[in-house]
Amino acid sequence: MPTVEVAGLADGDFLLDVREDDEWQAGHAEGALHIPISEFVARYGEFTEAAPQDGPVHVICRSGGRSAQVTMYLVQQGIDAVNVDGGMQIWAASGRAVVDAKGQPGFVL
């Protein structure tokens, strides 16, 4: 499965967060698209409208398990998808910004 380290992500890379609503509201990467794994298939059209046509989709969750499942699904659909190794835990630990639902400093739940 295609994987990328958090350090390998550049500002502006497309990020898909598949964590649940309470996790997202507590803290997420600013600019990420949020579609919970539990709703992903039903909201697939929303994803395809937002996803880049000419670049990879970086899929993230808390630690990498749920995002790996979604990455595998997307790859099977022919999407250039990459799992973010270590997820939001590594994102936050590496000093990347985490914001809550109100745009204030957040935390990884």
Catalytic positions, written as ranges: 61
Longest dimension (CA), the chain: 36
SS3 (DSSP) at 99: strand
Displacement of CA 6 from its chain's centroid (Å):
11
> Residues 63, 84: contact at Cβ < 8 Å?
no
- Residue 52 dihedral angles phi and psi, to the nearest 5°: -70, 145
> Residues 4, 83: contact at Cβ < 8 Å?
yes
**Measured distance CA(91)–CA(23) in Å, rounded:** 14
